[in-house]
Amino acid sequence: MTSGRKPRAACLIGWPAAHSRSPLIHHYWLRRLGIEGGYVIEAVPPDEFQDFVFRLSLRGFVGANVTLPHKERALALSKPDERARAVGAANTLWYADGELCSTNTDVEGFINNLDACSGGWDKAEDALVLGAGGASRAVVFGLLERGIRRIHLANRTMERARALADQFGASVLPVAWDAVPDLLPRAGLLVNTTSLGMHGQPPLEIDVGRLPSGAVVADLVYVPLETPLLAAAQARGLGTADGLGMLLHQAVRGFELWFGQRPEVTAELRAVVEADLTNT
């Protein structure tokens, strides 16, 4: 284990080491809270990942975030909590009593951001989730944990929606992509977990005018910051929750586990990350 005298440090393990906002977020919190600590990016190829993780503490790290392509492997090499197991991927590692533990913080990132932006969203009886990839699993698990009764899951590849529904049980109802317009009038919560609407991707064609008047719309895409889906929902006066908010909220738990203080997602932090997103 690391010596208590050294400043604590965590890292983000990925391959390739893509540009990430995580160092910006964690350095901001370290500075704000006056904690002497560090957070660095580690480029680790797949064939070196196991060794890197087994020697994480010897390398001086108290924990790590894990990103593509290592998230499934991280789950297998650690003691996962229920969230990581349900999502099938771990994005956060830390030590508890000398044991390497893991979780998936996208679940609470999504839910805590909704709570912060659109309190009361969980009164929705029917949620409509678009997409059935990795992010969708975190969203669906979070909605189930929160007690949403019916989750309609639409995906371009119906088979993936079926597989996800099979795993999560009878509250998750797989539907064909072309059934989306007919489901909108009963969706108290609409969530886009596809990459549609992201810069460089095709647009997401949804008529938010068909949603009920009290509906809440969440979009996981954060480039652009304001997606056309969220802009249309706001223009209609609906509650919204954006992808950047989820990204910030998902970082809270790792920081708390590694550095011992629970940081806050503030307007100032958001402005710092927004500026970085706008400049790249």
Query: Which positions touch ligand NAP (CB under 6 A)?
Result: 106, 109, 131-136, 155-157, 160, 193-196, 198, 202, 220-222, 243, 246-247, 250
Gap between the Cα atoms of 108 and 114, Å rounded: 10
**Least distance in angstroms from the C-beta of 268 to ligand NAP:** 19
Question: Of the two residues 164 and 208, which places its CB atom closer to ligand NAP in the complex?
Answer: 164
Gap between the Cα atoms of 109 and 251, Å rounded: 7
Gap between the Cα atoms of 215 and 7, Å rounded: 46
When CB distances to ligand NAP are compared, the closest residue is: 133
Question: Of the two residues 14 and 134, which places its CB atom closer to ligand NAP in the complex?
Answer: 134
Question: Of the two residues 102 and 193, which places its CB atom closer to ligand NAP in the complex?
Answer: 193
**Least distance in angstroms from the C-beta of 25 to ligand NAP:** 11
Query: Crossing angle, helix 243-259 and helix 267-279, to 10 degrees?
Result: 120
CB 190 within 8 A of CB 161: no
**Least distance in angstroms from the C-beta of 200 to ligand NAP:** 11
Gap between the Cα atoms of 181 and 199, Å rounded: 24
CB 65 within 8 A of CB 12: yes
* Burial class (CB within 10 angstroms; exposed 0-12, middle 13-18, buried 19+) of 62: buried
**Least distance in angstroms from the C-beta of 54 to ligand NAP:** 26
Gap between the Cα atoms of 99 and 203, Å rounded: 44
Question: Of the two residues 111 and 238, which places its CB atom closer to ligand NAP in the complex?
Answer: 111
**Least distance in angstroms from the C-beta of 197 to ligand NAP:** 8
**Cα–chain center distance at 137:** 10
Of the candidates 141, 134, 128, 212, which has an alpha carbon nearest to the alpha carbon of residue 173? 128
Backbone angles phi, psi at 141, to 5 degrees: -65, -40
71 catalytic residue (yes or no): yes
Question: Of the two residues 109 and 239, which places its CB atom closer to ligand NAP in the complex?
Answer: 109
What are the residue numbers of the active site? 71
